[in-house]
Amino acid sequence: MSAGSAPKVLVLGANGQVARHTTPVLLKAGAELTLFLRRASRLANPDPARVRIVEGDVLDAPTLRTAMQGQDVVYANLAGDMARQAHAIVDAMRETGLKRLIFISSMGIYGEVPGETYRSALDPYRDSAAIIQESGLDYTILRPGWFNRQPSASYRLTKKGGPFIGHDVTLNGLSALIAALATTPDLQVGESLGVSHI
Higher pLDDT, 56 or 167: 56
Distances in Å between the alpha carbon of 109 and those of 27, 124, 160, 179?
A: 31, 9, 10, 23
pLDDT 10s digits, 86-112: 999 999 999 999 999 999 999 999 999
Is 1 a residue whose pLDDT tops 80? no
Is 118 a residue whose pLDDT tops 80? no
Task: Provide the edge-to-edge strand list for the sheet that holds 73-76.
Answer: 51-55, 32-37, 8-12, 73-76, 100-104, 138-144, 191-196, 156-159
Helices 82-96 and 61-68: crossing angle in degrees, nearest 10, is: 50
Provide the percentage of residues in the chain whose pLDDT is more than 70. 98
Confidence band, pLDDT 50/70/90 cuts, at residue 3: low
Q: What is the pLDDT averaged over residues 56-69? A: 98
Is 2 a residue whose pLDDT tops 70? no
pLDDT 10s digits, 121-177: 899 999 999 999 999 999 999 999 999 999 999 999 999 999 999 989 999 999 999
Average pLDDT score, the chain: 95
Point out the least confidently predicted range of 2-11, 63-72, 152-161, 171-180.
2-11
